[in-house]
Amino acid sequence: MSPGIRLQKFLAEAGVASRRAAEQIILAGRVQVNGRPVRVLGTRVDPDRDTVTLAGKPVRVRRKMYVALHKPAGLVCSRRDELGRPTIYDLLPKEWQNLHSVGRLDFNTEGLLFLTNDGQFALCLTHPRYGVGKKYVATVEGCADRAILERFLRGVWHAGEKLQAQAARLISAGRMRSVVELELAEGKNREVRRLFESQGLAVKRLQRIQIGKIKLGELKPGRWRTLTETEIKTLLAEI
């Protein structure tokens, strides 16, 4: 196989269009590689050597970015909110508005959240078939005993859907309040909260503390950092 990447993928990673739309652009003859029009899907280009232009303007792949953010409670993960609530993008440099959150944390949930412009990286960390574990610490009203945690490990039904934890640990338990650590692999909508709701317990505080082997650590609420090359490889190695 020729070196490089498929031209439609190159255009998609450069932010020109989705991969399917990029195919139509190629078929229309609007793309040139090293000065020559290309209309053949599957043509491969080397981003370091080949010059790609669209309508006469150079096209360059954007540098891939991987950011870890400590999302505070009270923010949404969308770029804009129809209710006018603050978003996680208010915490980021303006030039990073093209980043997408890798999965979501709901409005009242805090903790570790990744953002990236690498679609494949995001897919690998969120699709259930890859099973990347995510750890949460939940503070709930009432007593969450070991019997409840065992039910979580076996799986419980809520709103017609089976929810299941991969691991569960009781940090503390009292009559008025309990603290539980859970590890999930599927990332269904509001899964931690729904697990406790199925047992008649309300979550008062929920924090995601780990994704794969990457921990929230000492990252302060509202602050971000870029992931290291080693951390990125570690995350992908788990898949």
- Dihedral sign of CA atoms 113, 119, 121, 125 in order: positive
Rounded to 5°, the CA angle 38-42-44 comes to 75
Rounded (to 5) percent helix, strand, coil in the chain: 25, 30, 45
Q: Tokens 């009432």, residue? A: 142
Rounded to whole angstroms, the Cα distance separating 135 from 184 reads 7
- Interatomic CA distance for residues 106 and 77, integer angstroms: 7
Q: Which of 90, 106, 118, 145 is catalytic?
A: 106
Q: Is 46 a catalytic residue?
A: no
Tokens of 71: 């999302």
**161 burial via Cβ count (<10 Å: 0-12, 13-18, 19+):** exposed
Query: Tokens in use for 153?
Result: 């490990």
- Give CA 141 to chain center in angstroms: 29
Catalytic residues: 106
